[in-house]
Amino acid sequence: MNMFFPVPAGRLPLILYVIPLLLLAGCGGKQKKTAMPDYDDALLLKVRNAALTIPGSLPEGINYIKYAASIRKWKDIVEDGGNDDATMARTAFQISYPDGYIMVDAGMDRAVHHFFEKESAQPFDDSLANKVSEALQDARLVLITHEHGDHVAGVIRNANNTLAGKTVLTKEQADVLTNEPQMPEIKLDESKRNQYIIADFESVLPVAPGVVLIKAPGHTSGEIMIYTKLKNGKEYIFAGDVSWSFKGVEEKKLKPKSERKRVGEDGDNVEKQLSWLNDRLLRDKMVILVSHDDIMLPQYVAQKVIGLGFK
């Protein structure tokens, strides 16, 4: 049944009046193919309308931290990429309101980072990773773009047992983390699953003033994009891992076939999502935030479109 997730007394009254979520505790079983919305103008209208359904002040800014990286070749990141070195940033974001903030993705610790060091040591900044971990403690809400270790480990493995109660996982994300996690370190115990806010929705879900989740299965079954509208009218979309680079969105290019096969990606779904994101970039002048991008994110900081570092 539909339920409302109330804000504790005195906790960010202007951000989260209610979160209309379908709460599903302890849902397990075999995963099914995730339903996907049509990525068209009707979806855009639905998203924009949903962003205004929860009362309260709209967010004022977006900040990010790059706490680690993987050094690869462009040919491993985007279709038809060259043999030059390319950096895949590991990032987390903060949606800032006048009296608090929401986190987008939760970072990871060194133990999970080692999973991504199969061929060689990769950059990891303990100080910045700790800043991400500390930011989770005071966040009013934590949103996860998808169920891979570098995005979700910060809440699964965090010793602070209050994080689960303010972390939204989609049903698909929770199912994968419970039954088939990317690595043992991020397995979600069935007994702890019902501590999280488990959301089941068909296409879009408003979770805070100006913030809307958008179903985007493809890279993983639990992938979502996150739309955010600021007080100044600027529109953003957190693209998660729909692409691993801004270049993929800008040129509507998939990841290389070998990488799509390796991660089990549904290329047909991702192709539709890339086309929709490209339309938002070119037609609507939205800011597309790609989690692993290391070219446009610094440029956005220089342009003061986003901030560097967390409040």
Whether residue 9 is predicted with pLDDT greater than 50 in this model: the reply is: no
185-203, pLDDT tens digit by residue? Answer: 999 999 999 999 999 999 9
When pLDDT is averaged across residues 297-304 and rounded to a whole number, the result is 98
DSSP state, residue 180: S
DSSP state, residue 124: B
For the chain, the straight-line distance linking the first and the last C-alpha, in angstroms and rounded, comes to 37
When pLDDT is cut at 50, 70 and 90, the band that residue 311 belongs to is: confident
pLDDT of residue 118: 80
Tell me whether residue 122 is in a domain.
yes
50-54, 86-90, 119-123, 163-167: least confidently modelled range: 119-123
Whether residue 91 is predicted with pLDDT greater than 80 in this model: the reply is: yes
Tell me whether residue 12 is in a domain.
no
Give the tokens for residue 150.
């570098």
- Distance between CA 246 and CA 239 in Å, rounded? 9
pLDDT of residue 30: 36
Tell me whether residue 234 is in a domain.
yes
Give the total number of structural domains in the chain: 1
When pLDDT is averaged across residues 98-126 and rounded to a whole number, the result is 94
Whether residue 23 is predicted with pLDDT greater than 70 in this model: the reply is: no
Give the tokens for residue 190.
């069935």
212-223, pLDDT tens digit by residue? Answer: 999 999 999 999
| pTM, entire model | 0.92
Tell me whether residue 11 is in a domain.
no
DSSP state, residue 114: G
Q: 3-state class of 95 per DSSP?
A: strand
pLDDT of residue 161: 77
When pLDDT is cut at 50, 70 and 90, the band that residue 13 belongs to is: very low
Question: Do 197 and 21 form a contact (C-beta atoms < 8 A)?
Answer: yes
CATH number of the CATH domain containing 50: 3.60.15.10
**Using alpha carbons only, what angle is made at residue 69 by residues 68 and 72, rounded to the nearest 5 degrees?**
170
When pLDDT is averaged across residues 74-93 and rounded to a whole number, the result is 97
When pLDDT is cut at 50, 70 and 90, the band that residue 119 belongs to is: confident
When pLDDT is averaged across residues 133-154 and rounded to a whole number, the result is 97
Cβ neighbors of 245 (< 8 A, separation 6 or more) are 77, 78, 86, 88, 290, 292, 293, 295
DSSP-assigned states of every residue in 238-281:
EEETS-SSHHHHHTT-PPPHHHHHHHT--HHHHHHHHHHHHHHH
Tell me whether residue 82 is in a domain.
yes
Tell me whether residue 3 is in a domain.
no
14-18, 55-59, 260-264: least confidently modelled range: 14-18
Domain hosting 183: range is 19-25+33-308
User: 160 or 67: whose pLDDT is higher?
Assistant: 67
Q: 3-state class of 167 per DSSP?
A: strand
Whether residue 8 is predicted with pLDDT greater than 50 in this model: the reply is: no
Tell me whether residue 5 is in a domain.
no
Compute CA distances 105 → 72, 144, 152, 154, whole Å. 22, 5, 6, 8
Tell me whether residue 110 is in a domain.
yes
When pLDDT is cut at 50, 70 and 90, the band that residue 47 belongs to is: very high
When pLDDT is averaged across residues 288-306 and rounded to a whole number, the result is 98
When pLDDT is cut at 50, 70 and 90, the band that residue 275 belongs to is: very high
